Structure 1
Amino acid sequence: MARITLNRPDRMNALDREAWGLLHSAISEVKSNPDIRVVVLRGAGANFCAGADVRAASQRTEHPLQRMRTISDVVRDLFELPVPTIAAVDGVAVGAGWNLALACDFLIATDRARFSQIFARRGLSADCGGSWLLPRIVGMQKAKRLLYLAEMLSASEAYALGLVLKVCAAEAFADEVESLVGKLVVAPPAAISQDKELINATWGMSFSEQLLRENAAQAVNFATDGPIARRAIASGEQPVFEGKWQL
């Protein structure tokens, strides 16, 4: 399991150029390490992430489109990681910070967490995947409400919209995150990785195309952790999944 911490607590973990680069490097390390089965993304201190550091961005000289492409690469690679990802959100998660969390597979929040698609307040439109992620989670009309009005939501309001998997008291937060990590670590890694890829690709696939992709994934499982599960069931034991080719 890997933990990635956004570590600029004096700026509410707002990301400047260096921080985006470090985050990208951490994600790349996870992608290249076959032993990592789960990633937890969190913020240092009392907040998750206040988005991109607008003050730092205003001091940069490269073309803004190039700057945005660099940031987009980070979010894309996080979204496409082949292992389950958990955003552990305490305090503020706004703008790019919230969309980083939404790009993870699961978002667990404390009851003091607050969320906003704050872009419109800054004269900006959505970035970091917000315009793609939000309609798929909450539908078109609610996504437009979140983007146009840039409201600040409480953790319970975000939960009611389906944007948070679970809300818990701050004192129970670490235990809730670790509980989910524990369940994911023992899951069959090849099957879960393929499930993630299948679900993420759904929006661009027809039903028939998705069936073909499912069939190919299942064929992989038949020669990976499927045999381990069958043997364990036959002997009445708990399977220990390895994610390794069995043939």
Structure 2
Amino acid sequence: MQELDCVREGGLLLLTLNVPGKKNALTDLLRAELQKAIADAQDDASVTAILLSGAAGSFSSGGDISAMTSDPKVARRRMAILHDIARLLIAGRKPSVAAVAGPAFGAGFSLALCCDAVIADTSAKFCASFGRIGLPPDLALGWTLPSRVPVAKARQLLLSGRVVEAEEAGALGIADEVVEPEALMETARRWAADLSANLPGPKGHLKALLALDTLDRVLAAEMEAYIACLASQEHISAREAFLSKGKTRT
């Protein structure tokens, strides 16, 4: 069953996370479909920009906790897909915009910040919720968040795991623009058009240059921290407690 809706509007590729039963948690199928769609877009000259959103009033609740495993080989394989998505969005050739409604928690927060612009509606909520289940940030959040907010503020948000409402997200710079729900998609489309206005050739070089060296180092460190935390009793206990409450995501 398909979990990513792909629609073309001229040169704009609209990608909609569509796992409403899990508030668009990044299941194995969804992350595989997302990886392929974004990778294919890099090589498609007719795609000028990518617009990423979530179905049913949620951007993404984050990782699918029910699929997490302490097996390091499996965990590395699953994380490698997320890292590929991060690289494609951050350093790829196509401009990208995240249109965020509702929760962008955990990996959902990370995914939104991989995009070149983040547009939020007034229902949006951002949260680095990883610590609740004993895991470190993923999808390069340790790189993207300090690029948007002061390092001290990024550290506070990552350590506390507190929820940032839309208005504060706009004030901090987590969101580039905050609008009413009915204006979200059109505003995101306008941003996508603005970011793709110039000739496509230099864009790929520009994004790659901005991410040069530091992104790969962050992702490598992130992988090792993630594997170590997955095997910890702290994570195992937190995961079991979370799932026992009938929740399947973070």
Q: TM-score range by the shorter chain?
A: 0.7 to 0.9
| Matching residue's letter, 1:163 | I
Asked if 2 retains the 8 angstrom alpha-carbon contact of 1:119 and 1:126, the reply is yes
1:58 is displaced (CA, Å) by 4.4
SS of alignment partner, residue 130 of structure 2: helix
1:202 is displaced (CA, Å) by 8.6
1:94 maps to what in 2? Answer: 105
- How many Å separate the matches in 2 of 1:192 and 1:62? 35
Q: Which has the higher contact order (CA 8 A, sep 6+)?
A: 2
Q: Within the alignment, does 1:6 sit opposite 2:52 as a pair?
A: no
SS of alignment partner, residue 201 of structure 1: coil
- How many Å separate the matches in 1 of 2:196 and 2:80? 32
| Matching residue's letter, 2:17 | L
Asked if 2 retains the 8 angstrom alpha-carbon contact of 1:37 and 1:184, the reply is no
Q: Within the alignment, does 1:75 sit opposite 2:86 as a pair?
A: yes
Give structure 2 stretches of 5+ with no counterpart.
Answer: 1-11, 216-250
1:162 is displaced (CA, Å) by 1.0
Name which of 185, 188, 194 aligns with 2:199: 188
Identity in percent: 32
Instruction: Answer with 59-68 or 108-117: which moved more.
Output: 59-68
- How many Å separate the matches in 1 of 2:195 and 2:60? 25
1:60 is displaced (CA, Å) by 7.9
1:137 is displaced (CA, Å) by 2.0
1:220 maps to what in 2? Answer: none
Name which of 103, 108, 117 aligns with 2:114: 103
Distance 1:29 1:50, change over 3 A: same
1:49 maps to what in 2? Answer: 60
| Matching residue's letter, 1:122 | I
Distance 1:193 1:77, change over 3 A: closer
1:148 is displaced (CA, Å) by 0.8
2:147 maps to what in 1? Answer: 136
| Matching residue's letter, 1:88 | A
SS of alignment partner, residue 83 of structure 2: helix
Q: How does 1:205-220 map to 2 (within 5 A)?
A: none
- How many Å separate the matches in 2 of 1:199 and 1:16? 29
Give structure 1 stretches of 5+ with no counterpart.
Answer: 205-247
Name which of 20, 31, 38 aligns with 1:27: 38
1:196 is displaced (CA, Å) by 2.6
Distance 1:32 1:155, change over 3 A: same
Distance 1:5 1:37, change over 3 A: same
- Paired residue total: 204
* Normalised TM-score (structure 2): 0.75
2:169 maps to what in 1? Answer: 158
| Matching residue's letter, 1:22 | E
1:128 is displaced (CA, Å) by 1.0
- How many Å separate the matches in 1 of 2:45 and 2:32? 22
- How many Å separate the matches in 2 of 1:195 and 1:61? 35
1:227 maps to what in 2? Answer: none
| Matching residue's letter, 2:199 | P
| Matching residue's letter, 1:138 | V
1:211 maps to what in 2? Answer: none
SS of alignment partner, residue 211 of structure 2: helix
1:245 maps to what in 2? Answer: none
When Rg is computed on C-alpha atoms for both structures, the one with the higher figure is 1
Question: For the aligned residues, what is the CA RMSD?
Answer: 2.1
